Amino acid sequence: MSQYLPILVLAILAILFGAVSFVASRLLAPNRPSAAKSAPYECGIVPTKDTPQRFPVSFYIVAMLFIMFDIEIIFLYPYAVNSGELGIYGFFAIGLFSVVFFLTFVYEVARGGLDWGPLGQARDLTSLAEMVSPERTATTTVRRVGSEGRFPVSVGVEEK
């Protein structure tokens, strides 16, 4: 236990220094707020319009997905170089790693995080049974634009 004494003393000194600095700045710093001090400052330009709306979380989610896939690619390079030496263990490790990243991407797509537009809201994942019903086929769900008159009816395109 005596080997941790220097770490404990250093932690106590750090906490004490932070507390004393905080109290000293509250006691010694001048506190005279004004409208000019509390106004946002942007390079000397006086703001002429209201502050912009906050960014939707979707922007940050897309950025995090981009970073995650960059990290995955960075980890795939060493595996590609040494795949022979790593053997089957390396294959399953990189496979599990890729599956975890792919599942996060699928989850984000299912939630509607990549749907951009004015009404980009999260989807309800409980109603997926309607999307995968046996009544839905390629001819009933896919709208073929501009194909009227091009293909015979026997291909599966219905005439309107």
Contacts of 82 (CB under 8 A, 6+ apart): 90
- Does the residue 131 lie in any domain? no
| 5 within a domain of the structure (yes/no) | no
How far does Cα 61 stand from its chain's mean position? 2
Mean pLDDT computed over 75-94: 88
**Residue 75 belongs to domain spanning:** 54-115
Which tens digit of pLDDT belongs to each residue from 86-111? 889 989 998 998 898 888 888 888 87
Is 72 among the domain residues?
yes
**Phi, psi torsion values for 42, nearest 5 degrees:** -130, 85
Domain membership of residue 124 (yes or no) is no
Structure tokens at 73: 């690619």
| pLDDT 10s digits, 19-55 | 999 999 999 988 888 877 777 666 666 666 666 677 6
In a domain, 135, yes or no: no
| Most confident among 51-60, 125-134, 150-159 (mean pLDDT) | 51-60
Residue 126 placed within a domain:
no
Number of structural domains in the chain:
1
* CATH code for the domain in which residue 77 is found: 1.20.58.1610
Q: Which amino acid, one-letter code, is at 137?
A: T
Would you say residue 125 lies in a domain? no
In a domain, 77, yes or no: yes
